[in-house]
Amino acid sequence: MHGFMGKLLAVNLTNGEISTLPLDEAYAQQFVGGASLACRYLFDRIHPDTDPLGPENPLMFMTGPLVGTAAPLCGRYVVCARSPQTGLWGESNSGGRFGPYLRFAGYDGVLFTGRAPHPVYLSIWNGEAALRDARGLWGKDSYETQKAIKDELNVGQLSVACIGPAGENLVKYAAVMNDHGRAAGRTGMGAVMGSKNLKAVAVGGDFQVPLADEARFKDVVQVVTEDIKEDIKGQFLSAGGTASSTDTTMWMGDVPSKYFTVGLWEPVANLGGGTMAETILVGKRACYRCIIGCGRGTTIGGKHATEKIDGPEYETTIAFGSLILSDDLPGAAYAGHLCNVYGLDTISTGATIAFAYYLYDQGIISKADTGGLELTWGDIEPALTLIEQIARREGFGAVLAEGSRYLGRKYGAEDLAVQVNGLEVPLHDPRAFVGMGLVYATSPRGACHNQADMFLVDLGAPVPELDIEIGDRLESSPEKALMTARVMDWRTLYNSLIMCIFCNPVAGFTLNLLNAATGWELEMSDLLPLGERAFNLKRLFNGKLGLTAKNDRLPKLLLQPLPDEDVDTRVPDMDVLLPAFYRVRGWDPQTGMPTPEKLQELGLQDLAL
Amino acid sequence: MHGFMGKLLAVNLTNGEISTLPLDEAYAQQFVGGASLACRYLFDRIHPDTDPLGPENPLMFMTGPLVGTAAPLCGRYVVCARSPQTGLWGESNSGGRFGPYLRFAGYDGVLFTGRAPHPVYLSIWNGEAALRDARGLWGKDSYETQKAIKDELNVGQLSVACIGPAGENLVKYAAVMNDHGRAAGRTGMGAVMGSKNLKAVAVGGDFQVPLADEARFKDVVQVVTEDIKEDIKGQFLSAGGTASSTDTTMWMGDVPSKYFTVGLWEPVANLGGGTMAETILVGKRACYRCIIGCGRGTTIGGKHATEKIDGPEYETTIAFGSLILSDDLPGAAYAGHLCNVYGLDTISTGATIAFAYYLYDQGIISKADTGGLELTWGDIEPALTLIEQIARREGFGAVLAEGSRYLGRKYGAEDLAVQVNGLEVPLHDPRAFVGMGLVYATSPRGACHNQADMFLVDLGAPVPELDIEIGDRLESSPEKALMTARVMDWRTLYNSLIMCIFCNPVAGFTLNLLNAATGWELEMSDLLPLGERAFNLKRLFNGKLGLTAKNDRLPKLLLQPLPDEDVDTRVPDMDVLLPAFYRVRGWDPQTGMPTPEKLQELGLQDLAL
């Protein structure tokens, strides 16, 4: 028993062959599910010469043993491949209903290989899979596509994951969109779909997710649900969405402004969840079996008036807000909506555009480069124009479509791009929570804020099984490195279940849920190694593709002190954090890779590079 | 003065912008032209994260200072980019008329960036460049495409370089085809065109190529032409085509059979230029201003009867002949024709298919893998089927479309693939001429026989400026390493002029031609560094993309002695050759890269990694 449907769908897009791949029990026991399990499948299939946009780059949609069960906050799926944005491990997960519906369709995941001769989409309904002509869908936006497919198939409840024009046009940070405005946004999985002529995947059905002990599972779910309901963070998220804490964290310097050069810009408060609730909010949106519902439904008026739209998330409000010194919340919401429509990651889109504003301000680029656009701090209108240009690869947008690293490089300013290994840094400043510096520098997919939410840990979120003081949010210490590593391992485990990053139940409940679903009868002490093993697997994956210790670095702008006197911030001391992190991880400081002893300990010795 | 038209065309396929880029005089003086000059332009534009099939991979068509002049054997152009086949430096040059016609159109080269929103082609007629809709051409073969474009443009004499279906389908070794059956075959430049939605480039016009001293140039051309006419190798090539020496070199073990496991298979004689002349040959084909005309025109009868077709070349006859133990010359000619039609490199196509035969023979793959095809030694019919499948990425062809390295990897036999850094080894066995072992192991584009034709040098072809004995063809000595390095440097220089690899005039004539064209007034001692500098530039280019000394290796099958008693062969001793080669090159044996001193000597210190 493993809590899985027990089979994956293998789709060869080149010749249209569809077959079933039995779930590898040994892999499941070692890596649980989600991105961790997908990484194990892809590890043998990706090589230094695998072209991220070539037919040979395998693309995997994966769920986990808790997805589609009654457990709260487990309605997620993940998309993985070699990232065209970073050239390294790519993963991005998304909520909504797609993950559960894929399992109700009869499969735990889908492995795509090859490249279809013309645009297609995959449908799986109650165990029946088929590739269908999508030539008529090519060019349609993500909302139109979802609707057109549901209309065409005309069966029961379906969920559709798809790309918009940005994915078709191979924008390096194109997202996979599902369930209206839900996004697997990061690392360009939408571009990989586009390169394969794969427009969408539509899933649904009536299969039941198997559980080792249904009665016991039901009991645990009941307790866990009550526990989460009482969690104050859940209540904040429900009331204010992901932007609920903006008003608090801005005073810590956590909210970047003016392209990461300002730590506190007070109008940021106008972008927070409170303002949103008072102005544009018209409803909440929840993923499958979510009891929080952090998703927002908004309606904006004025120049860019819309019907009810999805979002915006915190990251979106800042990327299209204070990062360009704009406090125009409806504008940021509309920017997020455009990203949803075209299928773009809001973080990378916003941060790349903000970088262009910065370069413009510095005189490094001018109207001659931007196609006549004046990128003036505070004016969101050119940003809206650029989103459309990026998605269509038109004008200056064609340059921005390659991301910040490329944009900087083109103008001799690569060092000024705030990115790590090609992925734009999200909107939590590591000078406010130094642990985030370590997270950004060493995460397997480049600058990632989901690998370990040290900004929450430093605010008091508990770290299971860790018996040290939280310490100061600004102190770069060996203890901080140890804590960061532990949080990464826990997050990696949650990402394999797949459980939402918000409001994870305490570890004991997680253990109970996992045991009741799988029948594995794990002990508490078994959990952390499940995360650590997968974290190291991803590290090996990147090592195979050429990553070394040299890649573990923060961008220059984040290593400069913030000028603000009113907020207490400090530059992370990477000379303290990194060596301590390598030590606690058991990584060789020269190669940056796990030592043979560490690999042995984790049972990964066969994958040594 | 630099012997150039003085400008390049820059084409942004994403937004359709076409502009002129002045030729960089300093680059031209350092790197002359051709692949060397293109590498200097691309060096700053390609990075470890540049996706070979992504819009950001720049693609360059380049000529050189002698192209389109009256100098014989200089009617060539080269296509360069990061190779999707190897992930490293990609270059491939081709004859015909395209190179000269590009200069007559007013440009020395074209730099493509981005990706067109739909299939397009570029036309340049007498200085006027335009991007035109190629949606109606998508799917057409290379002959149809050339004809359709000439019909559509309906101006004067045009030359068209294009891709066939293989390039559209991103086959990793898709060729760029021009002037009927001429091919820039190696390293997958056709796939790069396909990834950019660039179907073709059509060029022509009446511009005159500028010469520093026309009278002097004319004098030199006259003498050089006479000299080449008297060269015995030229006469052989004229009479027998590139397959003219098969009957001779087979007795040295140079002609690989049964996928490189047999050194002498006597029916190979049936594939030689002599047999061809007596059976299927109906005419010769010459490139612009070529006085040899090694190209063949043939007509075959029987099952695959054709009108007059192009080829086959030596490499084609062996790749589709003895490599699968077939001596069916019409069959090999037809295979070559199919490759021309679809736009495929005959070497990589034939060698990848032959590797499949070998795996089949070894029981590593079976009919279950090949889609029912029986890959029996000696039977060319399944190979013909596979060519079509490869071009269309159908059935087993979808696997072969990724090349030998991928094919081996898929079946756990990557070590048995006869390739270096992803490029299939051409049809000259290094166990017959050990210098070729060093060439294959260290050439900038993977296993390449054009970087240094040591099989000809060991047969007596002169090496300018080298005062040592030729030595034994089977002896792995430091002198062999020195000679190989020198020949590489000369070939690199010739490739920058661009002068055909066959029948290069003696160095003194080359010097005179170059000086009369450019007005540079170089000395004999200036020539070799021009080649060495560019060879090292390509090495740095690859180093930037991750290549190290570990990449310099021969495949396992070529390190096993040949079983034949009747031919004298020996495995190259790489433990002798490589260290000596690094020494003479001034390369660090640890990193495999040029030492700071060598870079200083060549004026490349600014490009140090």
pLDDT for the residue numbered A507: 81
Q: Which pLDDT band, with edges at 50, 70 and 90, does A50 fall under? A: very high
* CA torsion angle B143 B144 B145 B149 (round to 10): 110
A-B interface: how many C-beta pairs under 8 angstroms?
A: 84
Question: Phi-psi region for residue A189, left (φ > 0), alpha (ψ -120 to 50) or beta?
Answer: alpha
CA distance A485 to chain B (A): 27
In B118-240, which ranges are continuous DSSP H helix?
142-153, 165-168, 189-195, 214-229, 232-240
Radius of gyration over alpha carbons of chain A, in Å? 22
Q: Which two tokens stand for residue B584?
A: 């003479």
Residue B267 backbone dihedrals phi, psi, to 5 degrees: -60, -10
DSSP state of A558: G
Q: Name the residue among A147, A144, A200 with its Cα closest to residue A342.
A: A144
Pairing of strands A128-133, A182-184: unpaired
CA distance B14 to A601: 50
Q: How far is CA B357 from CA A180, B375, B383, B523, in A?
A: 50, 5, 9, 52
Q: Which pLDDT band, with edges at 50, 70 and 90, does B13 fall under? A: very high
* Burial of A566 from C-beta contacts in 10 A (0-12 / 13-18 / 19+): exposed
Prediction pTM value: 0.86
Among all chains, which residue has been given the structure tokens 């991005």?
Answer: A92
Q: Name the residue among B296, B424, B408, B412 with its Cα closest to residue B350.
A: B424
Among the listed ranges A466-475, B68-77, B133-142, which one has the minimum average pLDDT value?
Answer: A466-475
- Single-letter residue type at A283: G
Contact A157, A333 (CB under 8 A): no
Residue B199 backbone dihedrals phi, psi, to 5 degrees: -80, -35
Mean pLDDT in chain A? 95
- Select the residue of B12, B51, B115 nearest A51 (Cβ to Cβ): B51
Buried b (16+ CB within 10 A) or exposed e, A232-258: ebbebbbebbbbbbbbebbbbbbbbbb
Q: Name the residue among B143, B141, B109, B140 with its Cα closest to residue B124.
A: B109
CA distance B486 to B466: 8
pLDDT for the residue numbered B504: 67
- B14 shares contact with chain A (CB less than 8 Å): yes
**Whether pLDDT at B1 is above 70:** no
Q: Which two tokens stand for residue A599?
A: 């690999």
Contact B35, A37 (CB under 8 A): no
Q: How large is the average pLDDT for residues A104-111? A: 98
Length of chain A: 609
Mean pLDDT in chain B? 95
pLDDT tens digits, residue range B294-347? Answer: 999 999 998 899 999 999 999 999 999 999 999 999 999 999 999 999 999 999
Residue of A nearest to B389 (CA): A15
SS3 state of residue B93: strand
CA distance A93 to A451: 12
The 3 state secondary structure assigned to A241-267 is HHHCCHHHHHHHCCCCECCCCECCCHH
In A297-403, which ranges are continuous DSSP H helix?
314-319, 329-342, 346-361, 367-370, 381-392, 397-400
Sheet of A59-62, strands arranged across: A17-22, A7-12, A109-113, A59-62, A77-82, A89-94
**Whether pLDDT at B186 is above 80:** yes
ipTM of this complex = 0.75
> Degrees (nearest 5) of the Cα angle A20, A119, A205?
45
Whether residues A170 and B395 touch (CB distance < 8 A) is answered with no
pLDDT tens digits, residue range A174-227? Answer: 999 999 999 999 999 999 999 999 999 999 999 999 999 999 999 999 988 888
Among all chains, which residue has been given the structure tokens 């000596």?
Answer: B580
Sheet of A295-298, strands arranged across: A281-285, A295-298, A309-310
- B168 shares contact with chain A (CB less than 8 Å): no
pLDDT tens digits, residue range A344-375? Answer: 999 999 999 999 999 999 999 999 999 999 99
DSSP state of A132: E
Q: Which two tokens stand for residue A595?
A: 């030592």
- A409 shares contact with chain B (CB less than 8 Å): yes
- Omega before B468 within 30 of 0, i.e. cis: no
Q: Which pLDDT band, with edges at 50, 70 and 90, does A458 fall under? A: confident
A232 Cβ contact list (under 8 Å, min separation 6):
none
pLDDT above 90 coverage of chain A, percent? 89
Report helix angle A524-544 to A507-518, nearest 10.
80
Q: How large is the average pLDDT for residues A149-160? A: 96
A608 Cβ contact list (under 8 Å, min separation 6):
A540, A596, A599
* Burial of B26 from C-beta contacts in 10 A (0-12 / 13-18 / 19+): exposed
CA distance B390 to B402: 9
Strand partners, A296: A284
pLDDT above 70 coverage of chain A, percent? 100
Contact A603, A30 (CB under 8 A): yes
CA distance B408 to chain A (A): 12
Q: Name the residue among B142, B138, B139, B174 with its Cα closest to residue B160.
A: B142
Length of chain B: 609
Q: How far is CA B386 from CA A50, A242, B349, B374, B375, in A?
A: 23, 54, 9, 11, 10
Contact A323, A256 (CB under 8 A): yes
B521 Cβ contact list (under 8 Å, min separation 6):
B515
* Burial of B136 from C-beta contacts in 10 A (0-12 / 13-18 / 19+): exposed
SS3 state of residue B563: coil
DSSP state of B118: S
Residue of B nearest to A406 (CA): B56
pLDDT for the residue numbered B502: 82
* Burial of A549 from C-beta contacts in 10 A (0-12 / 13-18 / 19+): middle
Contact A242, A220 (CB under 8 A): no
CA distance A127 to A208: 12
Among the listed ranges A78-92, A230-244, B564-578, which one has the minimum average pLDDT value?
Answer: A230-244
Q: How large is the average pLDDT for residues A35-51? A: 96
DSSP state of B566: S
Whether residues A398 and B114 touch (CB distance < 8 A) is answered with yes
CA A601, chain centre distance (Å) = 29
- A376 shares contact with chain B (CB less than 8 Å): no
Residue A365 backbone dihedrals phi, psi, to 5 degrees: -125, 165
CA distance B398 to chain A (A): 7
CA distance A352 to chain B (A): 16
pLDDT tens digits, residue range B509-528? Answer: 889 999 999 999 999 999 99
Residues of chain A found within 8 Å of residue B15, distances taken between Cβ atoms:
393-395, 398
- Select the residue of B15, B54, B401 nearest A398 (Cβ to Cβ): B15
Buried b (16+ CB within 10 A) or exposed e, A273-290: bbbbbeebbeeebbbbbb
Q: Which pLDDT band, with edges at 50, 70 and 90, does B505 fall under? A: low
Q: Which pLDDT band, with edges at 50, 70 and 90, does A505 fall under? A: low
Q: Which pLDDT band, with edges at 50, 70 and 90, does B239 fall under? A: confident
The two counts, helices (H) then strands (E), for chain B are 24, 17
**Whether pLDDT at A504 is above 70:** no
Q: Name the residue among A142, A399, A139 with its Cα closest to residue B118.
A: A139
- Single-letter residue type at A362: Q
**Whether pLDDT at A603 is above 90:** yes
CA B587, chain centre distance (Å) = 25
Mind listing the domains of chain B with CATH numbers?
A: 7-204 (3.60.9.10), 242-424 (1.10.569.10), 434-553+573-607 (1.10.599.10)
Whether residues A392 and B117 touch (CB distance < 8 A) is answered with yes
Report helix angle B34-43 to B524-544, nearest 10.
40
Q: Which two tokens stand for residue B165?
A: 């279906």
| Cα first-last separation, chain B | 32
Residues of chain A found within 8 Å of residue B398, distances taken between Cβ atoms:
12, 14-15, 55, 114
- Select the residue of A115, A393, A546 nearest B14 (Cβ to Cβ): A393
pLDDT for the residue numbered A408: 97
- Dihedral sign (CA B61, B64, B69, B72): negative
